[in-house]
Amino acid sequence: MSRRVVSYSVGLILALALTVAAFSVVFASTYSPGVIPHVFILPTILVLAMIQLIVQLVFFLHLGQSKESRWDAVLFVFTFFGIAVVVMASVWIMYHLNYNMTPQEVTKYITDQSGF
């Protein structure tokens, strides 16, 4: 077999294993409560998702495997951090809006702005 087929096969097996692992965590927490502590479910799924992202970038998109693709990896990392900053800033703004305004004030503000 060629190196490319082996790479895709390993990537497929890892991706399937990570998908089954995430599904198993959710399935076990839903149908067998108490098997996995509730506070560990979301962090476990997030870690599995990050590993899944790395597996797919390396094995299917071949990111970072050659000297020429190093710039692609750097671009991906900066893009990831840029998106993370935008998302975290949005969550921070929404949290502070929620903290500083009551639901009635939010409703009044929305109706005043929309003209209804």
Tens-binned pLDDT, residue by residue, of the chain (116 aa)? 788 899 899 999 999 999 999 999 999 988 888 888 888 999 999 999 999 998 998 898 887 767 777 777 788 889 889 999 999 999 898 888 767 778 888 788 888 888 76
Both 3 and 51 in one domain: the answer is yes
The reported pLDDT for the residue numbered 87 is: 92
Both 72 and 55 in one domain: the answer is no
Q: How many distinct structural domains can be found in the chain?
A: 2
Both 58 and 80 in one domain: the answer is no
Both 45 and 30 in one domain: the answer is yes
Both 92 and 47 in one domain: the answer is no
The range of the structural domain enclosing residue 35 comes to 1-62
Q: In the listed set 38, 62, 86, which residue is the last one of a domain according to the structure?
A: 62
Both 38 and 15 in one domain: the answer is yes
Q: What is the 3-state secondary structure (H, E, C) of the chain?
A: CCHHHHHHHHHHHHHHHHHHHHHHHHHHHHHCCCCCCHHHHHHHHHHHHHHHHHHHHHHCCCCCCCCCCHHHHHHHHHHHHHHHHHHHHHHHHHHHHHHHCCHHHHHHHHHHHHCC
Both 79 and 30 in one domain: the answer is no
